[in-house]
Amino acid sequence: MNSIIKKGVVGSALALVAYLAFWPVIVEPIAWQAPTNLGYTGDFPRNQDLSPIERIELEGDIGPEDLALDQKGNVYFALLGGDIKFLDVEGNIQPWVNTGGRPLGIEFDQQGNLLVADAFNGLLNISPDGKITTLVDSVDGIAINYADDVDIATNGNIYFSDASSKFHAKKYGTYGASLLDINEHGGHGRIVEYNPATKVSTVLAQGINFANGVTLSHDEQSVLFNETGTYRVMRLGLNGQQRGNLEVVIDNLPSFPDNIAKGSNGVYWLGLVSPRSKPLDLLSNFPNMRKVIQRLPEVLRPKAQHYGHLVAINDAGEVIHNLQDPLGKYGHTTGALEVGDKLYVSSLHETALGVINNINQ
């Protein structure tokens, strides 16, 4: 009997080893060298400056991932279930539209239309009366599989990110697809320019490891975007000889950067959605081991940690503000929107908007 048990244990162990080593997975990880994580040191010392944040509960809704301000002072936010709602000037939450997808980045144009990077449906335009029009769902014959963030220049040109052309947000879910793309590190992201006058879309940058938050620079000579899978913010030139040129604004961030948006006094607010994963960093140069990670049960794989963190940087990449919430009052922070002396904070998984009062004091 003991011999039979031993054979069974050995057989099970061999089967487990074979599974972890050879079972097919959707990712084909690429070897790269992650920069040494310096953690919460230097420009990012640990603090509790974000912990006084107030919560505005969303009555059962989840994931106010991005924020936009209309001309009347209403704060709009995009939700996991496809709704776009707004917080009116009286502090009441009002319904508006449902895109039928997963709206992520949102931004108003000068005519009061809301431009939406919808992860399932591409780049959308929503008129003030709520009519939804698809502007871009493919570029160069490749579907927009994960529209993520959007911004609009004063000349009307629209810039948006397609986070991953391989891992479709609708198929895997926005969160699941992001984990797959970051594990693979295959450079499937791109930044797209859409000219509404000519209706022409142009890929300005590609080979990006999860192309995430997008914002025009303050002088509109470039676009800043977050390369989430490489822990950095990049600058993409738009005009003249600088058009298409890429340079690093800030790198080796202690967390995964999500959205980025212009603030006052020349800064850009950057949401850091989760601290970096030690296993992914350690195994960055070992693609086969990253396949093993993908074969583990979901509960054992690296996942986003509940930690609140916002930073503000300037055009030189210098850190001006470093606001953290290690207490977990508001986590998975994706970005922020300045409205007067308030800072509204968005999140990937929270059931509330965050707000910080007297931000400029």
Convert the pLDDT of each residue in 51-106 to its tens digit: 999 999 999 999 999 999 999 999 999 999 999 999 999 999 999 999 999 999 99
pLDDT in tens, 274-290: 999 999 999 999 999 99
- When pLDDT is cut at 50, 70 and 90, the band that residue 23 belongs to is low
- When pLDDT is cut at 50, 70 and 90, the band that residue 6 belongs to is low
pLDDT at 231: 98
Instruction: Kindly state the tokens that stand for 18.
Output: 């074979």
Nearest to 188 by CA among 218, 215, 209, 170: 209
- When pLDDT is cut at 50, 70 and 90, the band that residue 359 belongs to is confident
CA 117, chain centre distance (Å): 11
pLDDT at 4 over 90: no
Beta bridge partners of 189: 208
pLDDT at 139 over 60: yes
How distant, in Å, are the alpha carbons of 156, 192, 204, 275 from that of 195? 7, 10, 13, 36
pLDDT in tens, 197-244: 999 999 999 999 999 999 999 999 999 999 999 999 999 999 999 999
The structure's pTM equals 0.94
Strands 211-216 and 246-250: unpaired
pLDDT at 268: 98
Mean local confidence (pLDDT), 3-9: 58
Every domain of the chain and the residues it spans? 2-356
Tell which phi-psi region holds residue 315, choosing left (phi > 0), alpha (psi between -120 and 50) or beta.
alpha
Strands 222-227 and 211-216: antiparallel
φ/ψ (deg, to 5) at 298? -55, -35
Computed on alpha carbons and rounded to an integer, the radius of gyration of the chain in Å comes to 21
Please name the residues in contact with 128: beta carbons below 8 A apart, sequence gap of 6 or more.
112, 113
pLDDT in tens, 160-207: 999 999 999 999 999 999 999 999 999 999 999 999 999 999 999 999
pLDDT at 19: 42
User: What is d(CA 333, CA 116) in angstroms, rounded to the nearest whole number?
Assistant: 19
User: What is d(CA 281, CA 36) in angstroms, rounded to the nearest whole number?
Assistant: 8
How many residues are listed for the chain in this entry? 361
Mean local confidence (pLDDT), 26-45: 97
How distant, in Å, are the alpha carbons of 1, 3, 8, 142, 161 from that of 11? 15, 12, 5, 45, 48
- When pLDDT is cut at 50, 70 and 90, the band that residue 358 belongs to is confident
User: What is d(CA 132, CA 248) in angstroms, rounded to the nearest whole number?
Assistant: 36
CATH code of domain 2-356 = 2.120.10.30
